């Protein structure tokens, strides 16, 4: 049964129209996400209370009528969300069995200080145990983020090498790695950094002897720059992060890139507020899902 599930999930991630909901705010980004939702820092005290409020927000989203595999083909979860429950089931089980949404989990533990124009991932302690737990819970894959600020060939090569080395560890557990080397939209030479990133990603992809990875990339300044990656046999899917763009701007840019689908976080939730009635909340979420789905599937 588990192999069948994995095969069905793989088919969905390879080719189904739609996008990925990034619901993976972690300890550092959760206060900001709660503030955007309308919950001030003064409304809670301590991490446990903070994560409880965030989990309630995520549950409200994933149980909303519009949040189904018809348009949201996958969701990336924070580790605590993966370990939590929705509707009396483990969150990954609820997503797949009740919503037909493929579950992923964010595994990185934050970033090192910037060096050579990039920020590498910090060491991930207990990673094998986390990957084993994720696999047992029915999670399909992982997401791991690092950031690029400058068009530094040596820095970007180091980022890509670290990402692919980590992806190899993830793949050994039967999970699909989403490699996320995010180019900052505030980079002084974003196009230059993206050109180097394309070269470095291609170098490592060409060296893979088997298996596949997914790529989560900033929407490029040059439309369709990443088309060779989308078409690469070692890439299951290329998805786009919103990177601080508003939803309108992110969707407009995404629609210019053939074959690239969204994996938005802030751009997905920017209009949702804790004070909304369920009808208002569900309507706002449905509108966001429709707009992002459109940009992911209808290209200009």
CA distance 114 to 20: 28
Closest CA to 65 of 290, 260, 240: 290
Q: In a 10 Å sphere around its CB, with 0-12 CB exposed, 13-18 middle and 19+ buried, how is residue 243 labelled?
A: buried
DSSP state, 66?
T
Q: Which candidate in 106, 216, 253, 291 is catalytic?
A: 216
16 in catalytic set? no
The 8-class DSSP code of residue 120 comes to P
How far, in Å, CA of 165 to CA of 213, rounded? Answer: 12
Q: DSSP letters of 30-64?
A: HHHHHHHHT--GGG--SHHHHHHHHHHHHHHHHTS
Which of these is catalytic: 71, 80, 144, 180? 180
User: What stretch of H or E contains 262?
Assistant: strand 261-264
Q: Are strands 72-77 and 19-23 parallel, antiparallel or unpaired?
A: parallel
User: What is the DSSP pairing of strand 72-77 with strand 89-90?
Assistant: unpaired
| CA–CA distance, 226 with 222 (Å, rounded to integer) | 9
Is residue 216 annotated as part of the catalytic site, yes or no?
Answer: yes
Cα distance between residue 40 and residue 225, in whole Å = 40
SS3 content of the chain, % helix, strand, coil (to 5): 45, 20, 35
| Catalytic annotation, residues | 180, 216
């Amino acid at each position: 049964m588990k192999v069948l599930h994995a095969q069905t999930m793989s088919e969905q991630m390879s080719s189904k129209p739609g996008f990925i909901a990034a619901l993976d705010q972690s300890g550092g980004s959760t206060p900001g996400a709660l503030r955007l939702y309308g919950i001030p820092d003064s409304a809670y005290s301590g991490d446990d209370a903070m994560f409880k409020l965030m989990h309630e927000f995520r549950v409200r989203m994933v149980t909303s009528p519009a949040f189904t595999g018809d348009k949201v083909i996958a969701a990336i979860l924070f580790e605590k969300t993966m370990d939590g429950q929705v509707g009396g089931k483990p969150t990954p089980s609820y997503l797949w069995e009740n919503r037909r949404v493929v579950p992923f989990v964010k595994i990185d533990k934050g970033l090192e200080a910037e060096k050579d124009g990039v920020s590498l991932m910090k060491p991930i302690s207990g990673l094998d145990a986390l990957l084993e737990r994720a696999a047992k819970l029915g999670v399909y894959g992982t997401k791991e983020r690092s950031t690029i600020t400058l068009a530094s060939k040596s820095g970007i090569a180091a980022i890509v090498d670290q990402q692919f080395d980590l992806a190899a560890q993830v793949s050994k557990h039967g999970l699909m790695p989403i490699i996320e080397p995010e180019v900052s939209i505030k980079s002084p030479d974003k196009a230059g950094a993206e050109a180097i990133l394309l070269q470095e990603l291609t170098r490592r992809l060409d060296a893979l002897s088997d298996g596949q990875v997914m790529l989560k990339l900033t929407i490029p300044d040059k439309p369709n720059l990443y088309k060779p990656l989308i078409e690469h046999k070692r890439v299951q899917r290329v998805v786009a992060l919103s990177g601080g763009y508003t939803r309108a701007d992110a969707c407009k840019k995404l629609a210019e890139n053939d074959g690239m689908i969204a994996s938005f976080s802030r751009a997905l939730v920017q209009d949702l507020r804790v004070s909304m009635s369920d009808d208002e909340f569900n309507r706002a979420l449905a509108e966001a899902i429709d707009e992002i789905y459109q940009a992911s599937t209808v290209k200009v």
